[in-house]
Chains A and B, each alone.
Chain A
Amino acid sequence: MSDLTTDPYRTSLRTAADWGLVAIALPTLAALALPVGVRNGAVLGWFGGTMAPLFLIGVVLAVVAGASAPKRVWGAWAELAGVALAWLLPLHLLNEGLDLSAGWGLWLFLAAATLLLWRVMGVLAGVPGWTRSVIVPGLFGLGLLVGWEVLVRGFQVPAILLPPPSRIAAALAANAPVLWDDFRQTVLTSVLRGYVMGCGAGFLVAILADRVPFLARGLLPLGNLASAIPVVGIAPIMVMWFGFDWQSKAAVIVVMTFFPMLINTLAGLGNSERIQLDLMRSYAAGYGSTLVKLRLPNALPFLFNGLKINSTLALIGAIVAEFFGTPVVGMGFRISTEVARMNLDIVWATIAVAALTGSGLYGALALLERVTTAWHPSMRGR
Chain B
Amino acid sequence: MTKRALPVTVMTLLLLAAWYIGAAWLNWPQAAETLARASKPAGFADVLAQAYTMKRPILPTPDQVVVELWNSLTGYAPSSPRNLLFHAWVTAEAALTGLAMGLGLGILLAAGIVYTRTLEASLLPWVIASQTIPILAIAPMIVVILGNIGLTGLLPKAVICMYLCFFPITVGMVKGLRSADPLWLDLMRTYSASGMRAFWSLRLPASMPFLFASLKVSVAISVVGAIVGELPTGGQAGLGARLLSGSYYGQTVQIWAALIMASLLSVALIAVVRGLELVLLGRAGAR
B3 at the interface (CB under 8 A from A): yes
Q: Of A160, A222, A316, A332, which is in contact with the most chain B CB atoms at under 10 Å from its CB?
A: A316
| Contacts between chains A and B (CB distance < 8 A), count | 161
In the bound assembly, the distance between CA atoms of A324 and B245 in angstroms comes to: 11
Give 9 closest A-B pairs by Cβ, nearest first.
A218-B11, A319-B137, A236-B247, A218-B7, A125-B121, A229-B263, A140-B122, A217-B7, A137-B125
Are A161 and B148 in contact, CB atoms less than 8 angstroms apart? yes
Task: Name the distance in Å between B87's Cβ and chain A's nearest Cβ.
Answer: 13
Q: What residues of chain B lie closer than 8 Å to A64, measured between beta carbons?
A: none
Q: Which of B132, B239, B252, B263 contacts A362 (CB 8 A)?
A: B132
For the complex, would chain B's binding face be called helix, strand, loop or mixed by DSSP majority? helix
Task: Name the distance in Å between A320's Cβ and chain B's nearest Cβ.
Answer: 6
Q: What residues of chain A lie closer than 8 Å to B244, measured between beta carbons?
A: 236, 324
Task: Name the distance in Å between A242's Cβ and chain B's nearest Cβ.
Answer: 11
Interface residues of B in 211-246 (CB under 8 A from A): 220, 223-224, 227-228, 231-232, 239-240, 243-244, 246
A354 at the interface (CB under 8 A from B): yes
- Residues A336 and B125 in contact in the complex (CB < 8 Å), given A126-B117, A217-B4, A219-B11: no
When each residue 140-180 of chain B gets 1 if its CB lies under 8 Å from chain A and 0 otherwise, what string results? 11001100110000000000000000000000000000000
Task: Name the distance in Å between A137's Cβ and chain B's nearest Cβ.
Answer: 4
Beyond known contacts A240-B247, A320-B231, A339-B232: 8 more, CB 8 A cutoff: A137-B122, A137-B124, A160-B148, A218-B11, A230-B263, A240-B252, A319-B137, A336-B232
When each residue 339-377 of chain A gets 1 if its CB lies under 8 Å from chain B and 0 otherwise, what string results? 100001001000100110011011000000000000000
Are A354 and B134 in contact, CB atoms less than 8 angstroms apart? yes
Q: What residues of chain B lie closer than 8 Å to A311, measured between beta carbons?
A: 132
Task: Name the distance in Å between A305's Cβ and chain B's nearest Cβ.
Answer: 13
B255 at the interface (CB under 8 A from A): yes
A289 at the interface (CB under 8 A from B): no
Interface residues of A in 88-105 (CB under 8 A from B): none
- Determine the interface band of chain B, counting residues with CB < 8 A from chain A: 35 or more
Are B132 and A359 in contact, CB atoms less than 8 angstroms apart? yes
Q: What residues of chain B lie closer than 8 Å to A339, measured between beta carbons?
A: 140-141, 144, 232
Are A232 and B136 in contact, CB atoms less than 8 angstroms apart? yes
Task: Name the distance in Å between A308's Cβ and chain B's nearest Cβ.
Answer: 9
Chain A contact residue count (CB 8 A cutoff): 58
In the bound assembly, the distance between CA atoms of A218 and B9 in angstroms comes to: 7
- Residues A315 and B126 in contact in the complex (CB < 8 Å), given A132-B121, A214-B7, A228-B220: no
In the bound assembly, the distance between CA atoms of A120 and B244 in angstroms comes to: 50
Are B120 and A125 in contact, CB atoms less than 8 angstroms apart? yes
Q: Which residue of A lies closest to B263 (CB)?
A: A229
Are B231 and A323 in contact, CB atoms less than 8 angstroms apart? yes
A215 at the interface (CB under 8 A from B): yes
A22 at the interface (CB under 8 A from B): no
Q: What residues of chain B lie closer than 8 Å to A270, measured between beta carbons?
A: none
Q: Which of B8, B133, B228, B231 contacts A218 (CB 8 A)?
A: B8
